[in-house]
């Protein structure tokens, strides 16, 4: 593994290994002084071309716990505004001695493009509508912690599957670990029939449901996704009110899912749209656990790439 | 001055010639095609063509020469040199130049530059609508007078059906062929590659096959209603084929074209975000390739063109979604198309008909041929020679092809254009 670009190219063993490492590293975070010198002297470039709060700070926190230095880059006010290409920008930054690049970009495949041209590891922190591998890994870690297993589960993902890189990574990740994934939402925001073959990692492991009930019934894990209005480029949803009424997760659905089913959301949440306000009180809601586990997973990823040099 | 080509397999789709024999060129014109031509004079250039095919130069009706406006990608000199090396001795160039070729001035400029710089004949295609914007018709009459051979909005479908109908009717006044790029822009909006398994894998917006088929059906209906032939450019999907068959049976006037990449390469080429394989319409699936070959065999598609679309690294070595659509085609047109003969899809003569006579008919020009007195536009082709695609071999300014590093079978060995012999090997 030279880079972490997507879940699709990871084997079950590689995923398990990262999760094991993250579980071990999590202990550091609860120490009185949560900092170890393991990556001292390493320089991590955080290249975020899109607004990001949790992912960016999660990576930054992970770097700092492991004593790696960080350089943050914001497209605004940079040489990009003077017309420089992303490749030239990154090559220049690489020349400053960067050991690892974390990139978030609004265009699918940008991390792959940079990985082709760079000698350092590239970690995809979300690219367009393609994938968000570390988010899927932290979701796996959270489910494993809470339910004790990643196999034999029914995972329901609700919402804009088509434009969600989180969903794309999760669909693959949960199936690779032995669970089944059911997706539901407005039909035009679900994978096209011709595209579905890709998401079927194993037979029966992936299903598209047009009725919310079919996806949610007996689910062990329910993940609500944010409506990605910024990615649509055109009005895909007639009205948020209708979306909230039909596809929003409300207490009425609690009857369908398993008693102790986990409720997840990759954030940021539009309360009252994909999740009704009442759901904030749902006892098995693990949204902040996901955020916490994000740091551990990213520590594991950084360590995997940078500790051997 | 005499040039005698000896013992080659002579193929001429215009006259149906197919035999092993000799071809005599005198002062730049065809003088004779016989089983055996014996000349006693000295000062004859004799060319041994044993094991080679000899046929008239190809006519490629879908080429982008990028001049004026984008000369860093290609210009009339480099583009026509690539054509020459590919055995293409006449090219029709699309109007998406900068400025767009929608005025007699730009059309005349292209012809003037071609006269000064071109290695082969250049036919300018002008835009159907001003600025290719799909709003107002261009001045077909003045464009034709300036030398436009056809009209097309190239990469843009004229989505306004009333305007397209008007264009088909107005073109009748001037006997101008109308070429349509069939793509419903709403269905292909922001699309990058074929919609399917790979688009899901790469997280790239897919272009559904319906975007092409819907446009094909509309254009066929308008052709029927206006009783005007429409030429459907670079078809790529299997869903078109039943409609093409229906249109032939109905007697609807239309012609259809495809390109070698649509019967050779699949969408798998874009894996790894390979921008060199990003092309519009996108590369499709094995099933589409099978259907396109079948349509060629049945004659529903009767033109093979290259859609030569050069782009420099500035447009290709970028994020996939920012990369321009298009790949080179001129130098690979013949070797890739000749695979159709090897696979039994088309005979040699039929293939040449699709690459010489049919495009000539559509463009209303006399095709290159071996008729006595015709200008010498002659290709000597070795169907067996294998060669590797390298940047050095490519004559275009740009090197954007997913074929780089691959081995192709079939090579243009010599081109005789009037009095000049070009050896493509050197």
pLDDT band for position A84 (cuts 50, 70, 90): confident
Q: What is the mean pLDDT of residues B3-23?
A: 97
Q: What does the pLDDT look like over B211-246, one tens digit per residue?
A: 999 999 999 999 999 999 999 999 999 999 999 999
Q: Which residue of B has its CA nearest to A234?
A: B189
Is A110 close to B319, i.e. CB distance below 8 A?
Answer: yes
Please name which of B425, B276, B260, B230 lies closest in space to residue B332, comparing C-alpha atoms: B260
Dihedral sign (CA B268, B303, B388, B315): negative
Pick the CATH number of A12-131+291-306 from 3.30.2310.20, 3.40.50.720, 3.40.50.1370, 3.40.50.300: 3.40.50.1370
pLDDT of amino acid A239: 87
Q: Are B54 and B369 in contact (CB under 8 A)?
A: no
- For testing the chain A interface, which of B189, B201, B271 should be mutated: the one with the most A CBs within 10 Å? B201
Is A233 close to B317, i.e. CB distance below 8 A?
Answer: no
Q: Which residue of B has its CA nearest to A196?
A: B197
- For testing the chain B interface, which of A49, A108, A127 should be mutated: the one with the most B CBs within 10 Å? A108
Minimum-distance CB partner of B319 among A107, A168, A191: A107
Q: What is the DSSP string of A187-206?
A: GGGS--GGGHHHH-SSTTSE
Is A105 close to B319, i.e. CB distance below 8 A?
Answer: yes
Q: Comparing A237 with A106, which gets the higher pLDDT?
A: A106
Minimum-distance CB partner of B197 among A105, A131, A198: A198
Q: What does the pLDDT look like over A5-30, one tens digit per residue?
A: 999 999 999 999 999 999 999 999 99
**Residue % of chain B over a pLDDT of 70:** 100
Chain A contact for B317 (CB, 8 A cutoff): yes
Q: Which residues of B touch A233 (CB under 8 A)?
A: 189-190
Q: Which residues of B touch A85 (CB under 8 A)?
A: 318
Is A165 close to B200, i.e. CB distance below 8 A?
Answer: no
Pairing of strands A262-264, A221-224: parallel
Binding-site annotation: residue ranges of A for carbamoyl phosphate: 54-55, 104, 132, 135, 267-268
Is A198 close to B198, i.e. CB distance below 8 A?
Answer: yes
φ/ψ region of A126 (left if φ > 0, alpha if ψ in -120 to 50, else beta) reads left
Q: Comparing A51 with A304, which gets the higher pLDDT?
A: A304
Q: Which residues of A touch B239 (CB under 8 A)?
A: none
pLDDT of amino acid A83: 75
pLDDT of amino acid A178: 96
Residue B274: pLDDT above 90?
Answer: yes
Known catalytic residue: B307? yes
Q: What does the pLDDT look like over B53-90, one tens digit per residue?
A: 999 999 999 999 999 999 999 999 999 999 999 999 99
Chain A contact for B273 (CB, 8 A cutoff): yes
Is B203 close to A191, i.e. CB distance below 8 A?
Answer: no
Verdict on whether the full-model pTM lies above 0.95: no
Lowest mean pLDDT among A73-87, A137-151, A275-289: A73-87
Please state the ipTM of this predicted complex: 0.88
Q: Are B184 and B159 in contact (CB under 8 A)?
A: yes
Under 8 Å CB pairs connecting chains A and B tally to 74
Is A129 close to B203, i.e. CB distance below 8 A?
Answer: yes
φ/ψ region of A222 (left if φ > 0, alpha if ψ in -120 to 50, else beta) reads beta
pLDDT of amino acid A233: 62
Q: Which is catalytic among the residues B12, B60, B307, B382? A: B307
φ/ψ region of B325 (left if φ > 0, alpha if ψ in -120 to 50, else beta) reads beta
Q: Are A220 and A153 in contact (CB under 8 A)?
A: yes
- Cis amide leading into B68 (omega within 30): yes
Binding-site annotation: residue ranges of B for Zn(2+): 62, 64, 154, 181, 234, 307
Q: Which residue of A has its CA nearest to B189?
A: A233
pLDDT band for position A234 (cuts 50, 70, 90): low
Q: Which residues of B touch A195 (CB under 8 A)?
A: 195-197, 199-200, 206
Is B320 close to A108, i.e. CB distance below 8 A?
Answer: yes
Residue B380: pLDDT above 90?
Answer: yes
- For testing the chain A interface, which of B196, B202, B276, B277 should be mutated: the one with the most A CBs within 10 Å? B202
Is B203 close to A195, i.e. CB distance below 8 A?
Answer: no
Query: How far is Cα A84 from Cα B72, in angstroms, rounded to an integer?
Result: 18
Equal CATH topology for A12-131+291-306 and A133-286: yes
Is B208 close to A194, i.e. CB distance below 8 A?
Answer: yes
Binding-site annotation: residue ranges of B for substrate: 64-66, 96, 280, 311, 325-326
pLDDT of amino acid A308: 72
Architecture of domain A133-286: 3-Layer(aba) Sandwich (3.40)
Chain B contact for A80 (CB, 8 A cutoff): no
Q: What is the DSSP string of B164-201?
A: HHHHHHHHHHHT--EEE----TTTSTT--EESSHHHHH
Q: What is the mean pLDDT of residues B80-103?
A: 98
Chain A contact for B200 (CB, 8 A cutoff): yes
Residue B128: pLDDT above 90?
Answer: yes
Q: Where are chain A's structural domains?
A: 12-131+291-306, 133-286
Token pair in block for residue B117: 């710089």
pLDDT of amino acid B289: 98
pLDDT band for position A279 (cuts 50, 70, 90): very high
Residue B417: pLDDT above 80?
Answer: yes
Q: What is the mean pLDDT of residues B253-260?
A: 98
Q: Map out the domains of chain B with their CATH numbers.
A: 2-54+372-396+409-423 (2.30.40.10), 57-362 (3.20.20.140)
Neighbours of B367 (CB within 10 A): 23
Query: How far is Cα A100 from Cα A44, in angstroms, rounded to an integer?
Result: 5
Neighbours of B388 (CB within 10 A): 11
């Amino acid at each position: 593994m030279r880079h972490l670009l997507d879940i699709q190219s990871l084997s079950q063993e590689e995923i398990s290994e990262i999760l094991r490492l993250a579980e071990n590293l999590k202990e550091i975070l609860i120490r009185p002084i949560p900092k170890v010198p393991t990556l001292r002297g390493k320089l991590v470039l955080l290249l975020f071309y899109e607004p990001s709060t949790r992912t960016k700070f999660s990576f930054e926190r992970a770097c700092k716990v492991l004593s790696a230095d960080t350089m943050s880059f914001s497209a605004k006010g940079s040489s990009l505004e003077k017309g420089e290409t992303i490749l030239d920008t990154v090559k220049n930054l690489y020349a400053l001695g960067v050991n690892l690049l974390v990139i978030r970009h609004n265009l699918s495949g940008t991390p792959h493009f940079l990985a082709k041209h760079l000698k350092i590891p590239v970690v995809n922190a979300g690219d367009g509508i393609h994938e968000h591998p570390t988010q899927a890994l932290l979701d796996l870690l959270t489910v494993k912690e809470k339910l004790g297993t990643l196999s034999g589960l029914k995972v329901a993902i609700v919402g804009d599957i088509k434009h969600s890189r989180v969903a794309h990574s999760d669909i693959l990740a949960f199936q690779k670990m032995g669970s089944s994934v059911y997706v539901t939402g407005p039909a035009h925001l679900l994978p096209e029939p011709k595209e579905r073959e890709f998401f079927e990692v194993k037979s029966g492991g992936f299903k598209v449901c047009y009725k919310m009930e079919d996806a949610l019934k007996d689910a062990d894990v329910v993940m609500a996704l944010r409506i990605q209005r910024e990615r649509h480029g055109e009005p895909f949803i007639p009205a948020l009110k209708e979306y909230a009424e039909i596809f929003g997760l409300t207490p009425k659905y609690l009857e369908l899912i398993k008693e102790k089913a986990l409720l997840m959301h990759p954030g940021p949440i539009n309360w009252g749209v994909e999740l009704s306000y009442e759901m904030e009180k749902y006892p098995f809601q693990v949204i902040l656990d996901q955020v916490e586990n994000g740091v551990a997973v990213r520590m594991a990823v950084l360590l995997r790439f940078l500790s051997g040099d | 001055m005499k040039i005698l080509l000896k013992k080659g397999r002579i193929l001429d789709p215009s006259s149906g010639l197919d035999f092993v024999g000799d071809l005599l060129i005198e002062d730049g014109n065809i003088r004779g095609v016989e089983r055996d031509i014996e000349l006693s004079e000295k000062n004859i250039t004799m060319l041994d063509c044993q094991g080679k095919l000899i046929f008239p130069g190809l006519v490629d009706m879908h080429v982008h020469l990028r001049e004026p406006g984008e000369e860093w990608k290609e210009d009339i000199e480099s583009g026509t040199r690539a054509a020459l090396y590919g055995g293409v001795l006449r090219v029709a160039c699309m109007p998406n130049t900068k400025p767009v070729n929608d005025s007699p001035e730009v059309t005349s400029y292209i012809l003037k530059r071609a006269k000064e710089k071109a290695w082969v004949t250049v036919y300018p295609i002008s835009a159907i609508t001003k600025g290719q914007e799909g709003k107002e018709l261009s001045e077909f009459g003045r464009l034709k007078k300036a030398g436009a051979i056809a009209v097309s909005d190239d990469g843009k479908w004229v989505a306004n059906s009333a305007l397209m109908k008007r264009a088909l009717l107005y073109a009748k006044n001037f006997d101008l062929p109308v070429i349509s790029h069939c793509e419903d822009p709403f269905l292909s909006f922001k699309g990058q590659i074929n919609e399917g398994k790979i688009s899901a894998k790469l997280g790239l917006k897919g272009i559904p096959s319906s975007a092409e088929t819907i446009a094909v059906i509309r254009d066929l209906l308008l052709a029927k209603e206006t009783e005007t032939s429409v030429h459907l450019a670079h078809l790529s999907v299997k869903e078109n084929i039943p409609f093409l068959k229906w249109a032939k049976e109905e007697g609807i006037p239309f012609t259809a074209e495809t390109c070698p990449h649509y019967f050779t390469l699949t969408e798998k080429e874009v894996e790894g975000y390979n921008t060199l394989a990003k092309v519009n319409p996108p590369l499709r699936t094995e099933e589409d390739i099978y259907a396109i070959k079948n349509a060629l065999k049945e004659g529903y598609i009767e033109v093979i063109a290259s859609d030569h679309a050069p782009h420099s690294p500035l447009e290709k070595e970028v994020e996939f979604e920012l990369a321009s659509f298009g790949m080179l085609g001129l130098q690979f047109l013949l070797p890739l198309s000749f695979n159709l003969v090897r696979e039994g899809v088309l005979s040699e003569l039929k293939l040449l008909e699709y690459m010489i006579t049919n495009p000539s008919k559509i463009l209303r020009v006399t095709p290159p041929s071996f008729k006595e007195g015709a200008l010498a536009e002659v290709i000597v082709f070795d169907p067996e020679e294998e060669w590797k695609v390298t940047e050095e071999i490519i004559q275009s300014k740009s090197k954007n092809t997913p074929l780089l590093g691959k081995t192709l079978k079939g090579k243009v060995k010599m081109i005789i254009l009037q009095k000049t012999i070009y050896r493509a090997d050197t």
